Homo-oligomer: A and B are copies of this chain.
Amino acid sequence: MRRLKLNRAFTLIEPGPVVLVTTHDGRKNNVMTISWTMVVDFTPLFAITTGEWNHSFAALRKYRECVVAVPTVDLLDEVVGIGTCSGADTDKFARFNLTPVRGKFVKAPLIKECLANIECKVIDIVRKHNIVVLEGLAAYMDTARKERRTIHAVGDGTFIVDGRRLNRRKMMLSKIPEGI
């Protein structure tokens, strides 16, 4: 994994892929599947929707850090499996053969098998709406990875895989942040 410039990290989340969010509770790693995410600022800031119903939430609230990892379509069954069992009774890293990698800023692990990882700290929890606001501290990309298509959860049990990419950069230059 190579460091990705932090000002590009929002481009990992803006397209709306399903992500894996890892935490560390002082004793062990955990990971959850989240498809309710949003970029909030280029700096980068991200929002995710989660709450008490996710076992990871306690660690997120207590340690105020996590890693947002972006899986690709070859990991779909792992993504679904992670989303349908609980860290309360399952070591998900072991069960789904994920390799935890030590980050630079947070104790929550990066996931080696993912296309990209973002180390994050929790900067706010909007309890009224179950919205957790994250600040990205460092981003990484597996530039050697061949499969780079991410997956978009529909919410009905189906997933849309990335198709072709269209370029409208010239039309949009006024709106693209400098250096992107």
Contact of A168 with B40 in the complex, beta carbons under 8 Å: no
Q: Which residue of B lies closest to A176 (CB)?
A: B157
Name the interface size band of chain A. Answer: 35 or more
Decide if A144 is an interface residue (CB 8 Å cutoff): no
Chain B residues closer than 8 Å to A151, beta-carbon distance: 166
| Closest residue of B by beta carbon distance from A151 | B166
A56 on the interface (CB 8 Å rule)? Answer: no
Does any Cβ of B come within 8 Å of A52's Cβ?
no
> Can you list 14 A-B pairs, Cβ within 8 angstroms, ordered by A?
A8-B156, A15-B16, A36-B40, A39-B49, A39-B155, A41-B130, A80-B168, A80-B172, A124-B129, A158-B166, A158-B168, A160-B164, A161-B166, A162-B163
What residues of chain B lie closer than 8 Å to A180, measured between beta carbons?
155-156
User: How distant is the Cα of A53 from the Cα of B38 in the complex, in angstroms?
Assistant: 18
A84-B172 in contact (CB<8A): yes
Give the distance in Å from the alpha carbon of A160 to the alpha carbon of B12 in the complex. Answer: 12
Determine if A159 is an interface residue (Cβ-Cβ < 8 Å).
yes
**Given A11-B154, A129-B45, A133-B129: A171 and B16 within 8 A (CB)?**
no
